[in-house]
């Protein structure tokens, strides 16, 4: 029996992925190598960490988080921890909830530039995530980290 072309293609891709995983290993080494390569090419500025946190503005039960509540959180929780500066982007996002449904809501992305592998920054970032989830009854606050070459 001959399989349809799209089924054969799917299995061929799976085979290539499996072979790649076996040959190169299933680790985060390529990501670390990419960071190392980026690190070595930072000639204009300083190597810094960039962390972006994504905050949903809807409560699971109750009214949406207001702009005033958000700004109070930024003023009282974020600014004291990151006095050197920060950037907030407003947007609309969607995500898959733990219950399997798609949630659409307003959101804020908070971008922080901070020293690489700083225990203080790490502690402050995780404190912000925990405080926000607790205060506004959130399931999660997404975190994305990258290494950047920064110049002022």
Q: Which of 7-16, 27-36, 138-147 has the highest mean pLDDT?
A: 138-147
pLDDT surpassing 70 at residue 15: no
Residue 121 to residue 145: CA distance in whole angstroms:
12
Write the CA distances from 16 to 5, 13, 21, integer angstroms: 16, 5, 9
Task: Provide the pLDDT confidence category of residue 6 given band limits of 50, 70 and 90.
Answer: very low
pLDDT surpassing 50 at residue 46: yes
pLDDT surpassing 70 at residue 10: no
Domains in the chain, ordered, with CATH? 5-39 (no CATH), 46-150 (3.30.70.120)
pLDDT tens string 53-103: 999 999 988 899 999 999 999 999 999 999 999 999 999 999 887 889 898
The whole-number pLDDT of residue 40 equals 63
Three-state DSSP string of 50-101: EEEEEEECCCCCCCCCCHHHHHHHHHHHHHHHCCCCCEEEEEEEEEECCCCC
Cβ atoms 96, 102 nearer than 8 A: yes
> Can you tell me the mean pLDDT for 100-125?
95
């Amino acid at each position: 029996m001959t399989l349809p072309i799209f089924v054969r293609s799917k299995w061929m891709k799976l085979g290539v992925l499996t072979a790649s995983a076996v040959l190169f290993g299933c680790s985060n080494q390529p990501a670390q190598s990419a960071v190392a390569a980026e690190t070595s090419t930072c000639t204009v500025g300083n190597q810094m960490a960039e962390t972006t946190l994504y905050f949903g503005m809807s409560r699971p039960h109750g009214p949406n988080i207001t702009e005033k509540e958000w700004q109070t959180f930024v003023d009282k929780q974020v600014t004291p921890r990151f006095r050197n500066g920060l950037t907030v982007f407003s947007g609309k996002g969607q995500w898959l909830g733990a219950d399997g449904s798609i949630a659409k809501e307003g959101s804020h992305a908070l971008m922080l530039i901070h020293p690489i592998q700083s225990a203080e920054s790490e502690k402050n970032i995780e404190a912000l995530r925990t405080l926000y989830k607790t205060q506004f009854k959130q399931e999660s606050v997404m975190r994305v980290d990258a290494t950047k070459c920064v110049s002022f």
